[in-house]
Amino acid sequence: MIARWVAVFGFAAVCSATVGCSGTPAGPAAMPLPLGHWTGEGCLSVAQSGCDLVVGCGHGQFPRPLLGTDGAFVADGTYRIEAGPVSISPPPPARFSGVVSGRTLTVTVVPADGSSPPASYRLQLTSNSGTCIVPCV
C-alpha cells in the first residue's frame, strides 16, 4: 500500500514539474521574434534562418532571437556600412537589442568595433514576408 502511494506521489510530482515549466502563467515560454517584413526608419527581414537589418547604407545580420516576457531581446551578429568598396573580409561584430510592443519594434545596433555610434530605429510589422535591399552597394 505504501509503495502504491509513493508511486502515485512520484508520478504527480513529475507531472507537476513538467507542466510547471512549459509555459504556464507563472512562467510563459519564450517566443521568437515574429517572422515578416518590418519597415519604418529602416527595414528588417525576419526569417527562420535569421534577420537582415538595412538602414541607409548599413547592413546587419543576426540570428532570429527569442523575446522575453517583456518583449525584449538581445542578439549578437554583424554590422557594416556598405558604401563604396566593401571588404570581402567578415563584417565586424555588433550587438542588436530590441523591444516589441504590438506591431512596433524598436531595435538598437551597437557596432563592437566603434566604426559607427549606437543607433536605434522604430519599425512596424508590414507583411508576413519580404526582403530588404541594401541600396548603397
Residue 73's pLDDT band (cuts 50, 70, 90): very high
Long-range contact pairs involving 127-131 (C-beta distance under 8 Å, separation at least 24): 127/36, 127/37, 128/35, 128/36, 128/37, 129/35, 129/36, 129/37, 130/36, 130/37, 130/45, 131/37, 131/45, 131/52
What is the average per-residue pLDDT within 58-71?
Answer: 95
pLDDT digits (tens, 9 = 90+) for 14-24: 334 444 444 44
Please tell me the pTM assigned to this model.
Answer: 0.74
Helix (H, G, I), strand (E, B) or coil at 56: coil
